[in-house]
Copies of this chain bind each other. A is one copy, B any other.
Amino acid sequence: MPEQNASQSILDAAERIFALHGFEGASMRQISVEAGVAQALLHYHFGTKEKLYEAMFSRRSDAINTERAARLDVLFAAGGEQLPSLASLLEALFRPTVEFGHEGQAGNMFSRVLAATANADDERSRALIATHYDAIAQRFIDAFQRVVPGLKPSDAVWSYMFAIGVGMTMMAATGRAGRLSGGVCNDSDVDAVMARIVPFISAGIEALTSHSST
């Protein structure tokens, strides 16, 4: 049981409460109770609820996208003669999120925050995704074009959007797959989902090279 400072406790509590109830549904009171500190301390360290949310979001997404960038660097290392596989790109896209999203906590709380933020269309969500995810997204879109011959630039963008959509099944982890399969499928079983997501998306992207629309 490591002693950690109040800021970290607050961020951990915020991650969990925001994941369970959303930005509007979560309250500063609830977060302060979960963190075991006075409510005023949240404002002392982070100013407003809005800025606490941004700090909570940045902490994990910066770690995730640093790792993603490092993996892309390795895959496209200078001097490497052959291109990486599409499957290895998808591993680099998804693994850091499912590995860095939880840290000691039960369940992957940040993935739920991310799924909700990516799908919302309010200004706060849009700005967070644009600031923290658009640059790395461009790198993956470029990578798709390099490893899939004949993939048009616009279809590389669609490929990325669809891939993220499929990955949402794993990130949101609503338990619906289990319900629909009578308990056979488990959307929290990362390895099982990855084993299906990767071939599914790979084949989907390849198929976009041959469709006829503009």
Contact among B155, B164, B181, B187 for A196, CB-based, below 8 A: B155
Q: Which residues of chain A from 73 to 98 have any CB-CB distance to chain B below 8 Å in the complex?
A: none
Are A195 and B211 in contact, with the CB atoms below 8 A? yes
Q: Mark A21-47, 1 if CB is under 8 A from B, else 0.
A: 111110000000000000000000000
A126 to B177, CA, bound (A): 12
A211 to B187, CA, bound (A): 18
Contact among B24, B174, B177 for A121, CB-based, below 8 A: B174
Are A158 and B22 in contact, with the CB atoms below 8 A? no
Q: Mark A134-174, 1 if CB is under 8 A from B, else 0.
A: 10011001000000000001110111111011111100111
Supply 6 further A-B pairs (C-beta < 8 A) apart from A158-B177, A161-B180, A165-B168: A25-B122, A134-B180, A137-B180, A192-B213, A199-B211, A203-B207
Minimum CB distance partner of A195 in chain B: B213
Q: How far is the CB of A199 from chain B (nearest CB, A)?
A: 5
Residue pairs across A and B with Cβ atoms less than 8 A apart, 13 shown, are A116-B116, A119-B172, A129-B174, A153-B184, A157-B184, A160-B180, A161-B176, A161-B177, A161-B187, A162-B166, A199-B211, A200-B207, A203-B207
Q: Which residues of chain A from 89 to 145 have any CB-CB distance to chain B below 8 Å in the complex?
A: 112, 115-116, 118-122, 125-126, 129-130, 134, 137-138, 141
**In which size bucket is the chain A interface?**
35 or more
A121 to B170, CA, bound (A): 12
Are B122 and A115 in contact, with the CB atoms below 8 A? no
Are A196 and B211 in contact, with the CB atoms below 8 A? yes
A138 to B182, CA, bound (A): 11
Kindly state whether residue A7 has any CB partner on chain B within 8 Å. Answer: no
Kindly state whether residue A69 has any CB partner on chain B within 8 Å. Answer: no
Are A176 and B119 in contact, with the CB atoms below 8 A? no
Are B158 and A119 in contact, with the CB atoms below 8 A? no
Are B154 and A181 in contact, with the CB atoms below 8 A? yes
